Amino acid sequence: MIIDNLNNSHQYRKAHEGFAESFDFLKKAVEENLPAGRYEIDSDRVFAFIQEYTSKNDSSFEAHKNYIDIQFISEGTEVIYAGDISSMTVKEEYSAEKDIMFLEDCEKVSRAVLQKGEYGIFFPWDAHKPGLCYEGKPDKVKKIVVKVKAI
Domains and CATH numbers, the chain: 2-149 (2.60.120.370)
Residues 6 or more apart in contact with residue 137 via CB below 8 angstroms: none
- Please give the pLDDT value at position 106: 80
Residues 6 or more apart in contact with residue 24 via CB below 8 angstroms: none
Q: What Å distances lie between residue 123 and 3, 67, 75, 134, CA to CA?
A: 12, 7, 23, 23
- Please give the pLDDT value at position 82: 96
- Please give the pLDDT value at position 6: 96
Walk along the chain (151 residues) in steps of 10 and give the mean pLDDT of each run.
Answer: 96 96 98 98 96 96 97 98 94 96 89 98 97 97 98 75
Do strands 140-149 and 67-75 pair parallel, antiparallel, or not at all (unpaired)? Answer: antiparallel
Residues 6 or more apart in contact with residue 141 via CB below 8 angstroms: 51, 52, 53, 54, 55, 73, 75, 76, 77, 78, 131
| Helix/strand/coil for 30 | helix
